[in-house]
Amino acid sequence: MNKEYSKNKYYKEVEIQQAKELAKQFYNKEYTPQLLRIGNKKLGSNVAIWDLPSIITCQYACKGCYALKAERLYKNTRIHRAFHYEIIKQALTDKSKRDFFINYLNVELRRHALLFKTPVVRIHSSGDLFNDDYLNLWIDIINQNKDINFYTYTKIYNNQFIDKINAIFNNFNIVKSLIDDKFINFGDLDYLEDLTKTLDTEGKQYHICGYGHEDNKLQCMGNCTKCLECSNILFVKH
């Protein structure tokens, strides 16, 4: 097994090699996939999603990682996410490939922006901002698409850094997966209610996401856009 992928037991060597071959074809302009996937059960159709392999690109494996479920069940999901990772790694080490990737993705983003009044991109329903070069790649893309709202979640960067980034952008928001750099931002409702009592709330806003509650009619990026506006969001396990 490839050492890099060995952190995630669901990725198979044959799939990794297939992803690497697709990456080669992509940069040779022999493979022209749609990189962004549209919506899911939770998200509206105005949300385009970019994913990377879970755990492999994360700081550590989260207990109960929901992104693992799709990787455990679906071969195509593993190949798709590994392909993304392979083209990103090459983009971060080769300027011509970086430019090609950005231009290719921008075409998809422009198409997405034409289809919806409020186009949104979720960077990662799986994976994380695994290093500074990767974050800067997305910052370049975000700066070139100011009419699209981008958001993501991270455990990689500390809260002070996240606050600085969020203060800079009008169309990019990072939600803190570790509140105060130590408290995980999801759990049962009792945990979240107890957590809000222990947090320093001075000058900060905390929001408990209503998705998954009984009788709740919330649709992410439909009638709720908190993840575009607030960095301190708590999520109820469902």
More confident residue, 145 or 3: 145
Specify the pLDDT at position 79.
Answer: 97
pLDDT digits (tens, 9 = 90+) for 25-41: 999 999 999 999 987 66
Q: Is the pLDDT of residue 223 over 60?
A: yes
Each residue's pLDDT tens digit, 210-221 = 876 655 677 888
- Tokens 């990026």, residue? 221
| Long-range Cβ pairs for the range 151-155 (8 Å, 24+) | 151/120, 151/121, 151/122, 151/123, 151/175, 151/227, 151/228, 152/122, 152/123, 152/124, 153/124, 153/128, 153/177, 154/128, 154/129, 155/58, 155/59, 155/60, 155/62, 155/128
Name the average pLDDT for the chain: 91
How high is the pLDDT of residue 207? 85
Domain ranges of the chain: 4-175
pLDDT category at 201 given cuts 50, 70, 90 is low
pLDDT at 212: 65
Answering whether pTM is above 0.85, one says yes
